[in-house]
Amino acid sequence: MPGKAGFGMVVSFGTATGTTTAATLTNVTGISGLDSEVEVIDVTSHDSSGSYREKVASFIDAGQLTFDVNFDPNSTTHRATTGGILYLRDQKTIVPWKVTFPGSPVHSFLVQGFVKSAPFEAPFDDKLSATITVELTGSATWTYGT
């Protein structure tokens, strides 16, 4: 089976606590994350056999989502005013984030998280850009189209 193109991914988010994912993040150029990781607890004891460590799985950290964007201070979703990612960062608000994959049927996942950081870059010889990092809380809910 051939691979799928990433072009056409959509990122939407809530603009206040508990709201639906009503706003669509504009000018997204890259998406990465859901780098979940299981915490490991070392349970080795003096009577463990064979000089090997013994470990058990513990909590799962949902990780982060990262969105690269062509930063546009005129875009409502990029601003430090209500409805913007910089506003959400400043308010430390946990909101829903939905990432929708391109194609048909439609597949997506929904997570909760807060904007941890959103630094921008403005090189003299290139575009304005920003990298938005969302710290996730809880698990992702996947929806698969049929």
Q: Does 55 fall in a domain? A: no
Q: Is 3 helix (H, G, I), strand (E, B) or coil?
A: coil
Backbone angles phi, psi at 91, to 5 degrees: -85, -10
Q: Give pTM, 2 decimals.
A: 0.90
18 has a pLDDT exceeding 80: no
Which CATH number goes with the domain that contains 105?
2.30.110.20
Could you report the per-residue pLDDT of 27-60, keeping only the tens digit for each? Answer: 999 999 999 999 999 999 999 988 899 999 999 9
Q: Closest Cα to residue 20, out of 124, 137, 120, 110?
A: 110
* Residue 115 domain boundaries: 10-32+62-144
Q: Could you give the CA distance from residue 113 to residue 28 in angstroms, rounded to a whole number?
A: 18
Mean pLDDT (the chain) is 93
Q: Does 100 fall in a domain? A: yes
Q: Does 52 fall in a domain? A: no
Number of domains in the chain: 1
H or E segment to which residue 86 belongs:
helix 85-91
Q: Does 41 fall in a domain? A: no
* Rounded percentage of the chain residues whose pLDDT exceeds 90: 81
Average pLDDT over residues 106-121: 95
Average pLDDT over residues 76-91: 92
Q: Is 39 exposed, middle or buried (0-12, 13-18, 19+ CB in 10 A)?
A: exposed
